[in-house]
A and B are shown apart, each in its own frame.
Chain A
Amino acid sequence: MSNHLAAGGSGASVWLQELFRRHYTKVVTWCLRVAGDREEAYDLAQGVFVKAQRHLGAFRGDSKVSTWLYSITRSECLNYLKSRCPLNDSLDDDIAEALPDDPESRPEHAFELHSSVQAARVLLDRELTDTEKRVFILHYGDDVPLLTITRMLGLENPSGAKAYLVSARRKLARALRRWRASERLTA
């Protein structure tokens, strides 16, 4: 008897059978949340399994199969979003309207002023809740639309990810104002 199923131990075909048998539910569910539409999700899930089959030889067995499958799913989903769902700027317009009409209070502006990627990360980490960070990172770092983020993170509040993004931007704007004020004092 041997504990833990070894990838490829009995040949690639058996390993593939195990792959599909064990993981199709999570792949299909994940693709549905990303696509938000069953036809699109079907195409997406199909692409994930085809890519997994094509890259089977590259799997070295030093990570969990589900982690390897996640990395493929993640990559396919981001490619799908880039090709199908360019960011809807009207959502960002809505968010901008919810904020003070002060260009200098916008976090993007301050980040640009100081050209400091590190500063942006520190502020983000210090000021935002975990969910706000996730929404901010997925939306601005990976170009994931807000409706998709709402489904991916299982957000159940009425406005979903949009509410978290508005809240995050307000907090960052306030933090930047405080930061600028302290800089003026020390100058």
Chain B
Amino acid sequence: MVEARSRERSLLRKSLSPSHACATPLELGGLADGSLAQPGAAHLRDHVSGCARCQTELKLLNDFENAAPGPDEEGAVRWISARLERRFSEASARPSPWRARHGGALPRRSVFTALNLGGFALAAATLAAAVTIGLREGRAPELAQPSPAAPTVLRSAGITTLSPAGDLDAAPNELRWEPQTDAASYSVQVMEVDYVELWSAETRDASIALPPALRARIVPGKPLLWEVVGKDAAGRVVAWSGKQRFRIRR
């Protein structure tokens, strides 16, 4: 009985595992966002349309892209992110004491300290800000109501955003923020409330016009987020606005 079940499971696995014709996750992503080159894309699209396996993978990829903690997951995600942030900080602050003492194999939870992470040292500072601000925004923030007499000023982790914020009467034409003295350029991103990116751009100015295609996606009642990251001349992140929220009134 056990042997029969094992044989059956093996056969099912063979039937349901990806075949040589199935798309890889990277190819599925390319198909989904239109970046996969022709003529391979057309051939692959035909396969995916008739392949339950590929469609399952595509669904999982989409779920991953949109993954955000639910109410019952927020506490655990906050806890994990805080520990990761601490681990990053440790990795950037000191060399690996474990390797110095023991060399060779490492306990699983010390893997960050085992790496000579040049990039991680820089990443640590940013992740720390990201964890703090991102978790603060785990619940949807209340919309700030801009005063008609003066522009709304929202201060967060470095960059002061000017507009848009809160409830608006019409789709904004641009994003504006106060210039940062250390910043030589800025990266901006507009996203859905679940952090799915709608548009991103780089500029050297303290404002940037929104393209018509993006403005068309700003519809009444639908909240969106935006953020700006300041970078120095070497491309290092020096300031961040945190995520700001706005929407057009219904």
Contacts and interface: CB of A to CB of B under 8 A. Distances in A.
Interface of A: 1-5, 9-14, 16-22, 24-26, 28-33, 38, 41-43, 45-47, 49-50, 53-54, 56, 62-64, 66-68, 70-71, 73-74, 87, 89, 92, 106-109, 111-112, 117, 120-121, 124-125, 128, 130, 133-134, 136-138, 140-143, 152-154
A130 B68 CA distance: 23
A13 B124 CA distance: 11
Contacts of A133: 52, 55-56
A169 to B, nearest CB: 11
Nearest to B88: A20
Nearest to A56: B119
A35 to B, nearest CB: 10
B236 A21 contact: no
The 4 closest A-B pairs by CB, nearest first: A10-B235, A67-B29, A141-B16, A108-B8
Given A63-B30, A64-B33, A67-B61, A53 B24 contact: no
Main secondary structure of the interface of B (DSSP, over half): helix
A134 B79 contact: no
A162 B59 CA distance: 19
Interface string B61-83: 10111111100010011011101
Given A25-B68, A67-B61, A74-B60, A16 B11 contact: no
Contact of B61 (A18, A25, A70, A89): A70
A13 B119 contact: yes
B9 A108 contact: yes
B12 A26 contact: no
A112 B11 contact: yes
A53 B120 contact: yes
Given A2-B201, A62-B35, A141-B12, A24 B127 contact: yes
Interface residues of B, number: 84
A1 B83 contact: no
Contacts of A30: 64, 67
Contacts of B202: 1-3, 5
Contacts, number: 231
Main secondary structure of the interface of A (DSSP, over half): helix
A138 B60 CA distance: 10
Nearest to B66: A26
Interface of B: 5, 7-9, 11-19, 24-26, 28-30, 33, 35, 50-53, 55-56, 59-61, 63-69, 73, 76-77, 79-81, 83-84, 87-88, 108-109, 111-112, 115, 117-120, 122-123, 126-127, 129-131, 134, 187, 189, 195, 197, 199-205, 208, 211, 229, 231, 234-237, 240
A26 B195 contact: yes
A42 B56 contact: no
Contact of A14 (B35, B65, B122): B122
Contact of A124 (B30, B52, B66): B52
A14 B237 contact: yes
Contact of A10 (B115, B123, B231): B231
Given A71-B25, A133-B56, A26 B76 contact: no
B77 to A, nearest CB: 5
